Chain A
Amino acid sequence: MIKTESLKFSYDGKKYFDFPDINLDSGENLLIIGNSGIGKTTLLHLLAGILKPESGSISISGTDISKFSDTELDKFRGDNIGIVFQKPHFISSLTINENLKLAQYLSPSKISGDAKKILESLNIKDKYQQKPNQLSEGEKQRASIALALINSPSLILADEPTSSLDDFNCNNVIKLLKKQANDHKAQLIVITHDARLKKHFKNNLNL
């Protein structure tokens, strides 16, 4: 269950953002769509607790995170939110397996998923011992989904996951994301300017 109310944010008092309310029941996914510069990433960062709103409230699974301190936000994010970035990020000095282990270490209070099972379901089990830079782009993206899923989050945020992909891969990735979110009983919010994704989501929010 994700709920935002009269969410406002500004960068240094200059750029103002006024976001429409989100009201998402558990088990529902959401596509947030909008053009560049409209505050998509800002909204994603607010939902992820990376940014704090100027006013308004954000409630995730019944917890209002808008008044949390930085440390509380870090902990909440580690336990409850998985983020899939447009460009996959990893700790480059660690293997894929070690990346997953580190994610588990960083959120110790959470009973986390089985790294091997997750990699298996994403078809990259054999990349287990490899460093991120040894993976192909497609493999990297799947590994980054594994990283987002490892701590069994209740919410998965995906930032432009398909913008650089062709139609075929775009379909595959979004199906994969939806399937994984469903399998892990997590809600999926995708933020994008990619109109191709509209047909995959019941709930659309235009910014």
Chain B
Amino acid sequence: MNIFKLSIKNLFYRPLSSLLSLLLLALGVSMISLLVLINSVVQDQMNNNLKGIDMVVGAKGSPLQLILSSVYHVDSPTGNISLKEARSIEKNPMVGNSVPLLYGDNYEGFRIVGTNEKFIELYNLSIENGSFWDNEFEVVVGKKIATKLNLKVGDTFVTSHGLRETGEAHTNTPFTVVGITNFSNSVADQLILTSAESVWGVHGDHTHDDKEHDHDEEHDHDEEHDHDEEHDHDEEHDHDDDKEITAMLIKFNSPMNVIQFPRYINENTNLQSAVPSYEISRLFKLFGFGIETINLLAYLIIIVSGISIFITLFNSMKERKYDMALIRTLGGSRLQLSSMLVYEALVLTISGFILGIILSRLGLAFISSLMESSFNYSLNSYGILNDEFWLLAISIFIGLIACLIPSIQVYKMDISKTLSNE
């Protein structure tokens, strides 16, 4: 038996009030820690997927939607743009690198993206098994999908139209898996990649009985193309005229171009340009207010938990004054008596903190599974973040403040008076 064990026994002797203080602190800590976690994981993911993309060009609509759909592959695309217009932007000397993206189908809810080898360079993808596509209707499957759907090289599947599993199936044009990528920790892990030609092939299939109908649902977004394109094209376009892509990811030659070029596109063409870093910081600003409020609330809960610890200790001092006088008569010093209360407060706050951290991880796993099912996104980060060390320091500080007055009172306690009042 020692003072620390005695403190633990004391806490268990008043289980309900100990539990209340513990839960309050755990709640506050887990809320803050969850916010910190989500913030860091989301920002990590967002920034990781933003590498090498200065600008996105797509159909007119919401710039944020354009970014979310073509960089993060979560929202619906804004519509399609003509390949010819996209090519003319590609030719611009300010443009360094450009990656076309073409949507149309999905397999089991995972998007099939028609693109070219530049996409592979952009996300620095490598093949774990098999090879990249050579021919139409060959696909490379992201690692996460391959694991989840248990796809192997050589498997074939039929895609469904649109971005949801419920779309019409394209049974005439099965795709074959020729490769599976290594884990890249980017959106590419949850995409099925193929050539643009494959996507055109699926939808340009004229065996369809109703071409008009096919066209309608090919882009299930309102696409208003005014077809008065500038006819000053200076080179060969054969049959590209009626071909379309969904969006184009662009890297500039010089970072300075990001100031002029997007505006040039928005003002002078039918296309829309959006700058991901700008849109994402706008998005975070929108979230910011809500996050701040929850954060404030969580700190409030931590403070209330401190008050609850204080009240528990303070009330227990009245019940326990003979216990404490007895400790002194048995040879315990003032310091030992005060440290008993300090231990009680610290055990509560530290175990509340640990419980809170565990809760926040469970919360993250829960949110991640929700995101996984609705966006095919998962958040994985279970290590301790720097901000959480701060949280530990704050918890300990709250605990020390809460036991300050009770432990000083106990230190100054007049045991003679206490004992003669019996």
Contacts and interface: CB of A to CB of B under 8 A. Distances in A.
B39 interface: no
B1 A93 contact: no
A91 B329 contact: no
A201 interface: no
For chain A, which range describes its interface: under 10, 10 to 19, 20 to 34, or 35 or more residues?
20 to 34
A104 B416 CA distance: 22
Q: Is the interface of B mostly helix, strand, loop or mixed?
A: helix
Contacts of A71: 333-334
Interface string A145-182: 00100010000000000000000000000000000000
A151 B331 contact: yes
Interface string B385-422: 00000000000000000000000000000011001101
A79 to B, nearest CB: 7
Contacts of B334: 70-71, 74
A75 to B, nearest CB: 6
Contacts of A92: 13, 320, 323
Contacts of B332: 74, 78, 106
Interface in A105-159: 105-107, 147, 151
Interface stretch (A23-31, A56-64, A82-90): A82-90
A207 interface: no
Interface in B231-255: none
A48 interface: yes
Interface stretch (B2-10, B121-129, B203-211, B373-381): B2-10
A77 B415 CA distance: 13
A7 B415 CA distance: 20
Contacts of B322: 89
B1 A105 contact: yes
Interface string B298-336: 000000000000000000000010110111111111101
B417 to A, nearest CB: 9
B420 A45 contact: yes
B278 interface: no
A105 B330 CA distance: 9
Contact of B326 (A70, A91, A101): A91
A77 B329 contact: yes
Contacts of A1: none
Interface of B: 1-3, 6, 9-10, 12-13, 320, 322-323, 325-334, 336, 415-416, 419-420, 422
Given A50-B328, A92-B13, 14 more contacts: A71-B333, A74-B334, A78-B332, A89-B325, A90-B326, A91-B323, A94-B6, A98-B1, A98-B9, A101-B1, A103-B330, A105-B3, A106-B327, A151-B330
